[in-house]
Amino acid sequence: MLDMKWIREHTEEVQAAADHKQIGLSVAELLEWDGQRRQLLAGMERLRQQRNEITEEIHSAMLLKKRAEAEALRNEAADIKGALQEAEIRFNEADEKYKQLMLLVPNIVSNDTPIGRSDADNVEVRRWGAPAAFDFEPLDHVMLGRNLGILDIERGVKVAGNRHYYLKGDGFRLQRAVQQLALDVLERKGFDFYEVPLMVGREAMVNTGFFPLGEDQTYPIQGESRFLVGTSEVPLIGYFSGDVVDLAKGPVKAASLSVCFRSEVGSAGRDTAGLYRVHQFSKVEQVVLCRSDDRLSEQLLQEITVSAEEILQLLELPYKVMAVCTGDMSQKTYKQYDIETWMPGRASYGETHSSSNLRDFQARRSNIRYRDEDGSLKFCHTLNNTAIAAPRILIPLLENHQQEDGSVYLPQALRPYMGGRDRLVPVCNDLLAETRE
């Protein structure tokens, strides 16, 4: 949410942000409804003042036993009451329309955000590592997972429908190992951990900027105004909603490992094979609250992005960091980086991480403030980052580290979490030979 006074003074900038983010908002219409509600509110205040004054006059006339005058004043008061009721109806209509439009207002974007319409217009910032070169025919993660006996998509579909899966044995252990590695990295960086609710109310989704524009991506709880979360960012920010947080000792750093749910409406036929785009997944999320300082929140954006990069480097996976363009950003985002990791089965990089700086957009909606040095209350800046998302991260992990004999090399950083083992081995060599035929 942006401050309305600021919107009035920066109409063209806000409209440009809406256009670049492909949000159907007319700022001129918003200003018109805002003007109407303010005019109606002023009129209602005048009518209430008149009503209060006439009430006093009626009281005085009754004390002086001026019944005729008191009756005339009552008639006048009745007219004012009727006018006030009509004005309140008109104000509520204007206010509702104003609130609907305000929920569509996007965050502005940073000056260094690329202008574009889709992820094809994102700009590479840096890369680390080189794509794996194989002297044998590599397998994709689905075949690798089957041969290792750790992935069963067919039974996932049988039980829960398309884009569901089972991780078994070492597949379960591998996912937990990657998650614990990410948590250990974040703990060293001063993050506090939270176990969070996986169901939240509508207000939490609105306050964090996921509703109304992202509602079709969520799973509603039938008969309740509650929704399964698609990221623990929602309950983590919701934890501080309405609070005056203490930032005297520095930014608040919160993290959570949670199961997440997304309906992925509109993605039919796009990246739906295997584990890339599934309905249920797990994510280690970083959330940061800091002072309303552009330099500080930019510094923190770089820090949380580097944290995700450190995890990928520990996993020995090649990746590139992309500056996300305006058309690929969400409504709430001021500046964003995506990290794309090399996936041999796709013969391309695929998104595995995302870092965002929201400035005070989310904090205004959630009413999260802090007390500045002069004692004044200000809205925080908020940031978030995917430290690790699974099972998607298993795609590059399995595919990049596969060996000719069908085994999968385990990076040094993962071995303490995998009983000291240095590789995963196929359950059956005959199955591997059959796969490569």
Give the distance from CA 254 to its chain's centroid. Answer: 15
- H-assigned helices in 117-169: 141-148, 153-160
Which domains does the chain show, CATH number per domain? 4-102 (1.10.287), 119-436 (3.30.930.10)
Q: How far apart are CA 295 and CA 284, in angstroms?
A: 26
Active-site residue, selected from the candidate residues 232, 351, 356, 365: 351
Catalytic residue from among 146, 173, 262, 364: 262
Is the pTM here over 0.85, yes or no? yes
Judge whether 263 counts as a catalytic residue: no
Is 351 an active-site residue? yes
∠ at Cα 341 (153, 404), nearest 5°? 65
Rg (CA), the chain: 28
Please tell me the distance from the alpha carbon of residue 363 to that of residue 343, in angstroms, as a whole number. 36
| 297 noted as active-site residue | no
Beta bridge partners of 254: 192, 287
- Alpha-carbon distance of 281 to 389, in angstroms, equals 7
Structure tokens at 138: 């590599």
If one counts every other C-beta atom within 10 angstroms of the C-beta of residue 126, the result is: 10
The DSSP bridge pattern shows strands 369-371 and 199-201 to be unpaired
Rounded to whole angstroms, how far apart are CA atoms 124 and 126? 6
Q: What is the pLDDT along the chain (437 residues), one digit of tens a residue?
A: 899 999 999 999 999 999 999 999 999 999 999 999 999 999 999 999 998 888 888 888 888 878 888 788 888 889 899 999 999 999 999 999 999 999 999 999 999 999 999 999 999 999 999 998 999 999 999 999 999 999 999 999 999 999 999 999 999 999 999 999 999 999 999 999 999 999 999 999 999 999 999 999 999 999 999 999 999 999 999 999 999 999 999 999 999 999 999 998 765 555 677 999 999 999 999 999 999 999 999 999 999 999 999 999 999 999 999 999 999 999 999 999 999 999 999 999 999 999 999 999 999 999 999 999 999 999 999 999 999 999 999 999 999 999 999 999 999 999 999 999 999 999 976 566 666 55
For the question of residue 277 being annotated catalytic, the response is yes
Strands 244-245 and 369-371: parallel
> Exactly one of 46, 74, 127, 277 is catalytic; which is it?
277
